[in-house]
Chains A and B, each alone.
Chain A
Amino acid sequence: MSRPKLLAVASGGGHWTQLLRMRRAFDDFDVSYVSTFEGHVDNLGGARLYIVPDASRFDVKPFGKIFWRALKVMVKERPKVIVTTGSAPMLAFMLLGRMMGVHTLWIDSIANTQKLSSSGRMARKFVNTCVSQWPEVAQKEDVAYWGQVL
């Protein structure tokens, strides 16, 4: 029996480390991954990894390419759920996911100790669920708090 598909997406570095720390929560799903750095395939134990270019508010040019790539991944994988820990490039997956009727979950990075990240603020407007990893931030920003990756 095949399990439903979950797409776990995060930029390289800290966002990725946090995503991997919560992967036990995806045990009921057939998981594939998206990141910005191919070197991350090392600790996936054979799971599929798709790569998108990196981007930020200071460097918005790659977003067109990211959207195109995201669309191809979405059509190929047809996930039921997308989970991300950020950052900006992964907004493309959340937006496409939402448009395609996929459940979208944004878990804001634990690095954002005082307020939601700038991408988190954008995501909050359209994703199905947005959570912060700090109770004070969750309360201030009117999002849920489910605990931390730490």
Chain B
Amino acid sequence: MPFDRMTRAIDEWAAEHPHVPVFLQIGDGEYEPKACEWKRMVPHGEYQRHLNACQLFVAHVGMGSILQALEIGKQTLLMPRRASLREHTTDHQLDTAGKFRNRPGLLIVEEAAELQAQMTRLIEQPMEGPQGIAPDAPAETIANIRAHLAQFAKA
């Protein structure tokens, strides 16, 4: 689903900060950026390269983004999608935001103007990134799933 509110905010910010290279993945948004490099969707490998190279990661409050931010341990700025604006089917990103709001290295904002202000601040004065996590789920979770599946694992 589109998240034009975020795309537009970042594009406006990019126009005001021409010295900062910005890359945007916009999905099926209607608003097409004018001031920065953008694509609708990039393959995972290319996405990972952008993520590795960037100084600041800006995203919606999706679990994919949060997990990637934690895996890479890079400062991350997040803004939740809202169902009332047709940015998602439900308001679960507000719930997710509540759960992750206090995690160091992640900063969650609600509004576009705040997003732009924090982008400026975090580019000028970066905060420390989140504590990195391993690419696999915790051992206990893996063990529980594996134990459940064991009954079907015999050929």
Q: Which residues of A contact B (CB under 8 A)?
A: 1-4, 6, 13-18, 20-29, 37-43, 56-58, 80-81, 83, 103, 105, 107, 109-114, 117-118, 129, 146-150
Contacts and interface: CB of A to CB of B under 8 A. Distances in A.
B141 A147 contact: yes
B27 to A, nearest CB: 9
Contacts of A28: 146, 149-150, 153
Given A22-B137, A112-B92, A114-B95, A6 B149 contact: yes
A13 B62 contact: yes
Contacts of B46: 39
Contacts of A16: 64
Interface of B: 1, 41-48, 62-68, 70, 89-90, 92-93, 95-96, 98-99, 133, 135-138, 140-146, 148-150, 152-155
12 contacts: A21-B137, A23-B136, A39-B44, A41-B44, A81-B152, A111-B92, A111-B95, A112-B92, A113-B95, A146-B141, A148-B137, A149-B67
B44 A80 contact: no
Contacts of A105: 145, 148-149
Contacts of B63: 14-15, 17-18, 109-111
A25 B141 CA distance: 9
Nearest to A112: B92
A58 B89 contact: yes
A20 to B, nearest CB: 8
Given A1-B155, A21-B136, A150 B70 contact: yes
Given A17-B67, A117-B90, 19 more contacts: A4-B152, A13-B64, A14-B62, A14-B64, A16-B64, A18-B64, A22-B145, A24-B142, A25-B143, A28-B153, A39-B47, A81-B149, A111-B63, A111-B92, A147-B140, A147-B144, A149-B137, A150-B133, A150-B138
B141 A129 contact: no
